[in-house]
Amino acid sequence: MLTYLAYGLAIVLNLFVVFIGARFLLVPRAAAAGYGVPAKQDGDPAYLTIKGLRDGTFGILGLALLALVGAQAEAWFMLVVAIVPIGDTLIVLRHGGSRATAFGIHFATAVVLLVSAALLFAV
């Protein structure tokens, strides 16, 4: 049962990150607003594309690790990747985003990634 939970959570998290990446590529301004720091109208859209590419790549890499290498490699990946939403929390707070978004979305994501890593290490 633990194996199904560990793998299932990892798959859902990776697919969600692929979705976020796709959203930044397809509707970057809406995605930026959902991130917690709306994009400026005259801002450079290349940075939003970079975020989309980064997130999509992380999601695909996570799925590949899980499928081709296994739970241990995916656990280390989740542990390391948890740095990203912690950084996102700080970015949102530093740039005037709401505390609810910073902690309710980004910090909570970091916690879920750490839980996922712990479950994967346990299997």
Quick: pLDDT tens for 43-95: 888 989 999 999 999 999 999 999 999 999 999 999 999 999 999 999 999 99
Where are the domains positioned within the chain? 1-122
For residue 7, how many C-alpha atoms fall within 13 Å in the half-sphere facing its CB? 13
Angle between helical axes of 108-122 and 2-26 (0-180°, round to 10)? 140
Residue 42 has pLDDT above 90, yes or no: no
